[in-house]
Structure 1
């Protein structure tokens, strides 16, 4: 097994573990990103843009638990785990392939008297960007499904609020008795949400936009390739610096502890998340159900349309909705991922080394036996 395959499998394993641990935060964060809140001075757009916020992250988690149970916090987990395994596997495989090539080029340049044999910052960015682009193009449909499933309850709640508003308006116009209005509202409240699994989400997306619907948000997602690029640039640069400092000591050891990898991963992800978060919000808005609120003015036809409408109706704060939640979730997830991945790669290399030694010993013994015979 090549080191690229080993890194791909280790990345998939680490990604799955990190995803399971932090998924409730991710689910709540997606709902925060897709919630429309009008900026100060803008009237609520026919009830489609709400002025009220739903409270802090912890309060939202408790609210989801109360109304939807644990299933609400883990809605879309199955396709998300598939997406994580696929994304991490694809990303780390191609990242390692191009990293090996970049290191080989750097070594060849050193032999020719150019450079010190190390891969520069720009090369790390290019390697991460190429691997990220391939990953996005191959796995975007899975993340469209995940976003749709995470925000389905939120969409149904908005639709219900719209129906309630219409009933109250009709009651006011026709002079209904209070008991009639109460009965109508109670009837709406009694309607249970429809079961919404992966196949239902896929069917809905296909009916809305055909096969291209599975690549909604692809433009901001491709631009967001700079997120892992920045992340891995910070990580690889910091790791190389730390190993160089270790090697300069008397014992000359370059080993890095799991806790140090955890902290380096957290630092790298923090820098990348703060830089690219607005693109993540736009991507989530495009991938979520567009009928939220039922107002055509807030349905996004594309990336530029979403950006223009968000600036117009919500202002710049709209691009940073839920960022604190995302920072906690993504930084912790990335730290766990890096730590688990490095430990899995170490374990693989150790097993590979042992199996190699056993194989050599077996061949040696077999050769000696044949020679004696």
Structure 2
């Protein structure tokens, strides 16, 4: 092998290592961002889940005297008063266990998808962002659904320990429903990919708009503030458009309920509780998701930037 061939092999290897390094940067950044966001917003996640579920939603409405649903502040106070402040962090274990790999898988798959689709479509076009977000969402949902199932079951436990811990919940589910039990609600999660797609398409377009007015090589505080604003706008829009899948997913994961499929759940909720029940917990969801998404995306962008400078 002559010198030119050796140089060619070295260049190819270096490009390969750089590609792997770039993908690992997105994996690490995604995991870090997800973990920070989950820690800060866990209490609102618990309230949102309670307001989505049929049994706990009805209990909170009865206690508050509301005909439809209790408010976020009332739900927070009631949970602390009746179950203790620790109840606001139910499911935090599987949430932390799941959020880091989930975000790492998602952002890693998203980066890899962009690399592929940029060579297929016009680079950094809406089509690239749409296909990349869809691919990443499907990958993350399929791999991590069992973790979110356990988290939801723990958050809906209002009996002070029907499931004492994640392991007991896992054993009970496997004993009664087998492996399929851990994938309850996955159909709603797949439908929910549309929310992620909308979010990332808008976010990427806003980022491109901001790049016209900012130096992308040397970021400052205003750049990261603009990322936070872009994340908040895109997530709010996506959440409002796709929210009913969240309610359907939570109902499908409840224990011993009549909900069997995604479409059947939507129809049952709308008929029995009214159309607005499909948006139960939306305010709590937005109160949690907007800062959570802003924190996740800014942390992600910060870690990517820092690692790229190393």
Could you say which TM-score interval applies, normalised by the shorter chain? 0.7 to 0.9
Residues in 1 aligned to 2:196 and 2:218: alpha-carbon distance in whole angstroms? 25
Q: Compared with structure 1, are the counterparts of its residues 310 and 55 closer, same or farther at alpha carbon in structure 2 (3 Å cutoff)?
A: closer
Q: Compared with structure 1, are the counterparts of its residues 53 and 73 closer, same or farther at alpha carbon in structure 2 (3 Å cutoff)?
A: farther
Residues in 2 aligned to 1:124 and 1:26: alpha-carbon distance in whole angstroms? 27
8 Å Cα contact 2:69/2:280 also seen in 1? no
Aligned ranges for residues 228-247 of structure 1 at < 5 Å?
228-246=196-214
Aligned ranges for residues 349-364 of structure 1 at < 5 Å?
349-351=308-310
Root-mean-square deviation (Å): 2.2
**2:32 corresponds to which of 13, 19, 22:** 13
Count of aligned pairs between the two proteins? 283
Q: Compared with structure 1, are the counterparts of its residues 102 and 193 closer, same or farther at alpha carbon in structure 2 (3 Å cutoff)?
A: closer
**2:291 corresponds to which of 332, 352, 359:** 332
Residues in 1 aligned to 2:141 and 2:133: alpha-carbon distance in whole angstroms? 12
8 Å Cα contact 1:128/1:232 also seen in 2? yes
Scaled by the length of structure 1, what TM-score is found? 0.71
Question: Which one has the largest radius of gyration?
Answer: 1
1:219 and 2:187 are equivalent in the alignment? yes
Residues in 2 aligned to 1:70 and 1:217: alpha-carbon distance in whole angstroms? 28
Residues in 1 aligned to 2:234 and 2:218: alpha-carbon distance in whole angstroms? 20
Question: How much does 1:60 deviate?
Answer: 1.2
Residues in 1 aligned to 2:113 and 2:145: alpha-carbon distance in whole angstroms? 21
Query: Which is further off, 85-94 or 200-209?
Result: 200-209
Aligned ranges for residues 94-173 of structure 1 at < 5 Å?
94-106=109-121, 118-153=123-158, 156=159
1:343 and 2:287 are equivalent in the alignment? no
Secondary structure of the 1:290 match is coil
Runs of 4+ in 1 over 6 A off after TM superposition: none
Q: Compared with structure 1, are the counterparts of its residues 206 and 132 closer, same or farther at alpha carbon in structure 2 (3 Å cutoff)?
A: same
Q: Compared with structure 1, are the counterparts of its residues 52 and 204 closer, same or farther at alpha carbon in structure 2 (3 Å cutoff)?
A: farther
Question: How much does 1:71 deviate?
Answer: 1.6
Question: How much does 1:208 deviate?
Answer: 3.3
Residues in 1 aligned to 2:98 and 2:217: alpha-carbon distance in whole angstroms? 37
Q: Compared with structure 1, are the counterparts of its residues 33 and 124 closer, same or farther at alpha carbon in structure 2 (3 Å cutoff)?
A: same
Residues in 2 aligned to 1:254 and 1:264: alpha-carbon distance in whole angstroms? 19
**1:202 corresponds to which of 164, 170, 182:** 170
8 Å Cα contact 1:224/1:280 also seen in 2? yes
8 Å Cα contact 1:265/1:334 also seen in 2? yes
After superposition, the C-alpha distances for 1:42-90 in whole angstroms (9 at most, x for unaligned) are xxxxx9xx97556321121111111222220001101011111111010
Query: Which is further off, 118-127 or 131-140?
Result: 118-127
8 Å Cα contact 2:53/2:247 also seen in 1? yes
Aligned ranges for residues 64-83 of structure 1 at < 5 Å?
64-83=79-98
Residues in 2 aligned to 1:308 and 1:204: alpha-carbon distance in whole angstroms? 29
After superposition, the C-alpha distances for 1:108-138 in whole angstroms (9 at most, x for unaligned) are xxxxxxxxx5322122101100111011110
Question: How much does 1:327 deviate?
Answer: 0.7
Residue of structure 2 equivalent to 1:317:
276
Residues in 2 aligned to 1:83 and 1:52: alpha-carbon distance in whole angstroms? 35
1:260 and 2:279 are equivalent in the alignment? no
Residue of structure 2 equivalent to 1:168:
none
8 Å Cα contact 1:83/1:143 also seen in 2? yes
Residues in 2 aligned to 1:338 and 1:312: alpha-carbon distance in whole angstroms? 38
After superposition, the C-alpha distances for 1:5-26 in whole angstroms (9 at most, x for unaligned) are 1111111001000000001000
Question: How much does 1:245 deviate?
Answer: 3.5
Secondary structure of the 2:178 match is helix
Query: Which is further off, 61-70 or 87-96?
Result: 61-70
Residue of structure 2 equivalent to 1:269:
235
Question: How much does 1:195 deviate?
Answer: 5.2
